[in-house]
Amino acid sequence: MAENFERLYQAYGRFVILMGMIAGFLTFGIMWLIDANALMRKLFNEPVTGSLEITEGALVLIIFLGLAFTQRRRGHIRVTLLTRHFPQTVRHLLYIVVLLVGAALTAWYAWAAYTYALRSYNINELEWGVVTFVVWPIKSTIALGWGLFSLQFLLDAIRHMFVAAGHLEPIAGDEV
């Protein structure tokens, strides 16, 4: 059973890594857009049209597509000042509980973001600026990002149950 779960965990991990790569490419793209905008403004007094709106939307994508990737890599901050003094069994239990609480909270965030994006879609909400664009795809990405993050928390909790039972080896950063 642990082996089947590990295959699922690794497959989901590849998808999360893909989302992280998309966020990375968007970061690179924003960098070039900002550079081009600055150069165009300085050299020709003609900035790149819509660069602010594109950057605003891309920042949302970067942040929310990267949440699950960061969790997957154990990149979020962990404070173990108190828990490192607990027995190993208690640390495993607390870690699993924290992961499950994280999964529940982020699932709730995903649901709230989904309803917000659905409302935006239903009213055809637009962002007005130099360039006008629909907002619901950006808001939907927020819901997607929270949902992926929630699923990563849940999968991490299940995987850690297997680790605590001795059926799987911990991955780097997963030691409690």
Q: Are 150 and 139 in contact (CB under 8 A)?
A: no
Average pLDDT over residues 76-93: 88
Q: Which helix (H) or strand (E) holds 136?
A: helix 136-164
Lowest mean pLDDT among 17-26, 45-54, 106-115, 143-152: 45-54
Q: What pLDDT sits at residue 29? A: 97
Give the start-to-end residue ranges of the domains of the chain.
2-76+85-164
Name the band, by pLDDT with cuts 50, 70 and 90, for residue 130.
Answer: confident
Q: What is the dihedral of CA 55, 122, 68, 147, to 10 degrees?
A: 170
Q: What pLDDT sits at residue 173? A: 72
Going through 75-171 in order, the beta strands assigned E by DSSP cover: 126-127, 133-134
Please give the C-alpha separations between residue 38 and each of 9, 46, 81, 156, 172, in angstroms, as whole numbers.
Answer: 43, 9, 45, 43, 41
Distance from C-alpha of 161 to C-alpha of 135, rounded to nearest angstrom = 40
Q: What pLDDT sits at residue 67? A: 96
Q: What pLDDT sits at residue 127? A: 87
Name the band, by pLDDT with cuts 50, 70 and 90, for residue 146.
Answer: very high
Which of the two residues, 171 and 48, has the higher pLDDT score?
A: 48
Burial level of 91, CB count in 10 A (0-12/13-18/19+)?
middle
DSSP state for residue 82 in the 8-state scheme: T
DSSP state for residue 6 in the 8-state scheme: H
